[in-house]
Amino acid sequence: MVYDILYFNKHHTSYTIHHTPYTTHHTPHTPYIIHQDFKTMADKLFYFLSFLALLSAMMVVTAKNPIHSVLYLILTFFCLSGHYVLLNAQFVAVVNIIVYAGAIMVLFLFVIMFLNLKQDDEEAKTNLTKIAATIVGGTLGVILVAVFRKAQLGTYNPYSFNSQVGMVENLGEVLYNDYLLPFELASVLFLIAMVGAVMLAKREVGDRHF
């Protein structure tokens, strides 16, 4: 008889599974209970985050106030970061919160407040616009469902899976070894964009201030 034993690291951020033959010195039920409890907790958290992400995404589209839509979108990003943590991709989760839920959402709020959108000033949408939006949205939904149905999902073996693949150390090794040139080119591109933004915002002496 063979059962599984889970060995956690000291931070309890990852674990490895070892097949151990049954002997009289072992209790075969304890590792199974630990494994099952861990899977049950992760499954419950996955379904909760999925439900919350779908609900907040629907509220982004259906909310009448654009500020509320942005807040629901921030909640959606946090739910996605929770999924990344469940996949043991802590770096992607942190970057998703800092970049998208932080900087990008601040930019969205700034644009919305700058435009000063009001429901009273918004023009009434015609029936043709609503029908066209419904057709486009329905077509996009059908395409996404067809793509997901035809997609080939990779197989998952929990006994050979490397739980450290999404850690920052491994990601840094791949990024700075295999993708060093694209990374540096992206850095140069961002530098050029920053210089261009500064030059566009700079005003010469005597220029008109708007």
* Residues 161-183, mean pLDDT to the nearest whole number: 81
What's the chain's average pLDDT? 76
Residue 208: what pLDDT? Answer: 60
Residue 31: what pLDDT? Answer: 44
Residue 88: what pLDDT? Answer: 82
- pLDDT higher than threshold 50 for residue 28: no
Q: In the structure, what pLDDT confidence band is assigned to residue 156 with cuts at 50, 70 and 90?
A: low
**Domains in the chain and their CATH numbers?**
1-122 (1.20.120.1200)
pLDDT tens string 34-90? 455 556 888 889 999 999 999 999 999 888 888 888 889 999 999 999 999 888 888
Residue 48: what pLDDT? Answer: 93
- CA–CA gap between residue 140 and residue 188 (Å, rounded): 36
Check if the beta carbon of residue 163 is closer than 8 Å to that of residue 16.
yes
Per the model's pLDDT, the better-predicted residue between 158 and 16 turns out to be 158
Q: In the structure, what pLDDT confidence band is assigned to residue 1 with cuts at 50, 70 and 90?
A: very low
- The model's pTM is 0.60
Residue 32: what pLDDT? Answer: 42
pLDDT tens string 109-148? 888 877 766 555 556 667 888 889 889 989 998 998 998 8
